[in-house]
């Protein structure tokens, strides 16, 4: 239980930052595709760490951890639809 909140916080920060880069930047050619791939992988880690936090938490912390468990699949789906699918289609 000691390090679970730390991993939850770090995973959320990294996944959120890669989500923003992947979905809202077009600075460098291909940066959003690379960032999107990394973000989808990070969301798997976020889901696992927040799920573990959900199983351990009680009270209000359980609600927060539930929300943190719901958002990674939503964020990954948005990135796949907005960034990765168009990139694959443009290669074909």
Averaged pLDDT in 10-residue chunks for the chain of 92 residues: 78 87 77 88 90 90 91 93 92 87
Looking at the whole model, is its pTM more than 0.75? yes
Task: Give pLDDT tens digits for 65-87.
Answer: 999 999 999 999 999 999 899 98
Total domains present in the chain: 1
Percent helix / strand / coil, the chain, rounded to 5: 85, 0, 15
How many beta carbons lie within 10 A of that of residue 91, not counting itself? 6
Q: What is the DSSP letter of 25?
A: -
Identify the CA nearest to 4 among candidates 68, 72, 75, 59. 68
Contact 79, 40 (CB under 8 A): yes
Query: Which residue range is the domain that position 57 belongs to?
Result: 4-91
């Amino acid at each position: 239980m000691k390090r679970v909140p730390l991993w939850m916080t770090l995973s959320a920060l990294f996944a959120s930052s890669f989500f923003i880069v992947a979905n809202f930047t077009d600075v460098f050619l291909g940066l959003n595709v690379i960032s999107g791939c990394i973000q989808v992988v990070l969301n798997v880690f976020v889901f696992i760490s927040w799920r573990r936090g959900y199983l351990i938490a009680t009270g209000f912390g359980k609600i927060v951890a539930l929300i943190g468990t719901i958002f990674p699949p939503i964020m990954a789906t948005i990135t796949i639809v907005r960034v990765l699918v168009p990139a694959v289609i443009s290669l074909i």
